[in-house]
Amino acid sequence: MRVKIFKNEQVAGHAYKMTLAAPVIAKFAQPGQFVMVKCADGIQPLLRRPLGVHNVKGSEVEILYEIIGEGTKLLSQKKSGQALDIIGPLGTGFKFPKGSDPCGKNILIAGGMGVAPLLFLAKKINKSQVLVLIGAKTKQEILCKKEFKKLGCNVKVVTDDGSAGHKGFVTDLLQDRGHLFKGVPAMLYACGPKPMLKAVSEFSKRRKIPAQISLEEHMACGIGACLGCIVNTKSGQKRVCKEGPVFDAREIIWE
Amino acid sequence: MGIDLNVKIGKLKLKNPVMVASGTFGYAEEFKDFFDVKNLGAIVTKTITLNPRPGNPMPRTCETAAGMLNSIGLENPGLDVFIKENLPKLKDIGVPIVVSIASEKNPAEFIELASRLDKIDEVCALELNISCPNLKNKLISQDARATYSVVNAVRKMMDKTIITKLSPNVTDITEIAKVAQDAGSDAISLVNTFLGMAIDADTKKSKLANITGGLSGPAIKPIALRMVYEAASAVKIPVIGIGGIITALDAIEFIIAGAQAVQVGTANFINPRSAQDIIDGLTKYLKENKINRLEDLKGSLKI
């Protein structure tokens, strides 16, 4: 479907946020789902790009992205008022406590652009305490800290170079916060680079704390037809675009 | 007056010439949210093999200039699961179902697949995929004798319509096209993908784990069109045109070149409604050009 671009702005050195007038997607989108975006009309680039739903405000949908190639570069050049061809919401998102569900502790773990789908999740989780651990290469690349705080989340940051917060990996914070997981049921939600997701999965297994991880994969179709984004799980091969992108960490068979 | 889009391929009667290509439409489930799939001329299933196949390792798709490479490697649940789980849902759509079949090592598997599928009423035709470029052995369709032997063996034990899908990775497409015809195929479909590759200059690795893959999309359309033209000029049986069809005009070019029907492939990945848009565009073109029967457009290339 064609939707109208409201805003397309640079929010950090490397990151852009696009706001779309997309009432249908806004109505049905669940945290962890994504949209397939055609970055240019015509046949170059040919395929759509999968981008996570970052936030929903009324009838508006936000996507957060960085320039990683030709498609996202073209996307960054789009102006407000222009139309965008997108399909969505697609995929299977996070399972999280809603309404009067018992909530326990919810820990959101974001690496780099992995914050994109987690802001929408933080917004949707019912009133429980949400702890957000954000990891990035440098201070400049920490995204959404303010937005998470606005939602009332407890936010901790980590950088590779120590320019903000703890120096090291976002998973280090998880180890340090072992006490958080005593007594109350907890759930980890993670999105970020593969090594981080693997580390979260190992932590989850070791400490017997359930984790849901959102995988990123190149996709041709995004709707389950091409079988180009397969992941090996304990219950066989799954499509990241259809059965995922969010999976139970215990299910994934890491290479 | 209504436009007559009917086409006949062997015993198969289609209400329009737009089919969806094997491996690009799953088993149709994924597309039901996007358009009414019963409007299609026919559905060609993802290729089925006798036993389940996990396919090739990841990464197995990669975008290229105006195209894409794939090395999926015929991932499929195998014949038994297909018959039990996928076929009943396909049957309910009410569109002719063409089952694509293949075998990696043993051509005798084609016979077993065909003999079992022949007994199932809902299966209207078989497409013999003797041209998948992502398997270890040499393609059957690169070898005239092997092509004859497989097609003829299936012909001898089956009355249903046989479509033989050909590879473009050959020197002379008319030779293989004629062999398929002589062996008793009711129609030929072409082209399957072109063998290609792409390399990441930073890592010096192929962008596909399988190293090579099949190229599809608009990038191959001019070559596919030329091969369809050559094949259609060389055989009497219907030719189904495939290769980079994105718009109705692309489909029309193939029909003018001599194709009786077309298959939409990669376009399904970009716009899941592509096939519907192509059916609508084709109808519009025929109306605007005052052509009442699709048959009158077929092979109308002016030379």
Residue-wise DSSP of chain B? ---B--EEETTEEESSSEEE-TTSSTTSGGGTTTS-GGGSSEEEPSPB-SS-B--PPSP-EEEETTEEEE-----B--HHHIIIIIHHHHHTT-S-EEEEE--SS-THHHHHHHHHHHT-TTEEEEEEE---TTSSSPPGGG-HHHHHHHHHHHHHH--SEEEEEPPS-SS-HHHHHHHHHHTT-SEEEE--PEEE--EETTTTEESSTTS-EEEESGGGHHHHHHHHHHHHHH-SS-EEEESS--SHHHHHHHHHTT-SEEEE-THHHH-TTHHHHHHHHHHHHHHHTT--BGGGTTT----
Strand partners, A36: A50, A87
B58, A230 in Cβ contact below 8 A? Answer: yes
pLDDT at A102: 67
Torsion B88-B91-B92-B97 (CA) sign:
positive
- Average the pLDDT over A108-132 and give the result: 90
> Would you state the pLDDT for residue A2?
93
pLDDT at B1: 56
Question: In this complex, is the C-beta atom of B214 within 8 Å of any C-beta atom belonging to chain A?
Answer: no
Contact A225 B62 (CB under 8 A): no
The answer to whether residue B247 sits within a structural domain is yes
Contacts of A223 in chain B (CB under 8 A): 30-31, 34, 272
A170 or A8, which is more confident? A8
Q: Which residue has the tokens 């002016």?
A: B302
Put simply, the answer to whether B269 touches A224 (Cβ < 8 Å) is no
Confidence of residue A170 (pLDDT cuts 50, 70, 90): confident
- B48-106 per-position pLDDT tens digit: 999 999 999 999 999 999 999 999 999 999 999 999 999 999 999 999 999 999 997 78
B151, part of any domain: yes
Average pLDDT over residues B209-229: 97
pLDDT tens string B158-186: 999 999 999 999 999 999 999 999 999 99
Please give the share of chain B, as a percent, with pLDDT higher than 90: 95
Number of structural domains in chain B? 1
DSSP one-letter string for A17-84: EEEEE-HHHHHH--TT-EEEEE-SSSSSS-S-EEEEEEEEETTEEEEEEE--SHHHHHHHT--TT-EE
In chain A, what are the domain boundaries? Answer: 2-90, 105-251
B249 touches chain A (CB under 8 A): no
pLDDT of A165 > 90? The answer is no
Whichever domain contains B76, its CATH number is 3.20.20.70
Task: State the average pLDDT for chain B.
Answer: 96
Query: B121-158, pLDDT tens digit by residue?
Result: 999 999 999 998 777 778 999 999 999 999 999 999 99
Evaluate whether residue B200 is within a structural domain: no
In CATH terms, the fold of domain A2-90 is Elongation Factor Tu (Ef-tu); domain 3 (2.40.30)
The size of chain B, in residues, is 303
Provide mean pLDDT across the span B196-208: 97
Residue B132: active-site member: yes
- From the CA of A132, how many Å to the nearest CA of chain B? 31
A7-31: average pLDDT: 95
Domain of residue B275: give its range: 7-57+72-195+216-296
- Does some domain include residue B207? no
Considering the segment(s) A105-251 as one domain, its CATH architecture is 3-Layer(aba) Sandwich (3.40)
- Asked if B61 is an interface residue toward chain A (Cβ–Cβ < 8 A), one would say yes
Rounded distance between C-alpha atoms, residue B8 and residue A224, angstroms: 31
Binned at pLDDT 50, 70 and 90, residue B107 comes out as confident
Which positions in chain A touch B217 (Cβ < 8 Å)? 43, 46
Query: Does residue A127 surpass a pLDDT of 60?
Result: yes
Q: Would you say residue B210 lies in a domain?
A: no
Q: Please tell me which residue, B107 or B125, carries the higher pLDDT value.
A: B125
Which pLDDT score is estimated for A126?
66
Q: For residue B11, give both structure tokens.
A: 């015993």
pLDDT category at A100 given cuts 50, 70, 90 is low
Chain A residues touching B269 at Cβ < 8 A: 47, 220-221, 225-226
In terms of Cβ atoms closer than 10 Å to its own Cβ (0-12, 13-18, 19+), residue A97 is middle
Domain membership flag for residue B89: yes
Q: Is residue B124 part of a domain?
A: yes
Q: What is the pLDDT of residue A184?
A: 74
Query: What own/partner pairs with CB < 8 Å and gap ≥ 24 does B273-277 have?
Result: B273/B34, B273/B35, B274/B246, B275/B18, B275/B20, B275/B35, B275/B39, B275/B40, B276/B35, B276/B36, B276/B39, B277/B247, B277/B248
Q: How many CB atoms lie within 10 A of CB B144?
A: 17
Calculate mean pLDDT across residues B198-203: 97
- Residue B123's φ and ψ, nearest 5 degrees, are -85, 115
pLDDT tens digits, A202-232: 999 988 889 999 999 999 999 999 999 999 9
C-alpha–C-alpha distance, residues B128 and B162, integer Å: 7
- How high does pLDDT run on average in chain A? 92
Count CB neighbours of B9 within 10 A: 26
Q: Which residue has the tokens 């693997």?
A: A198
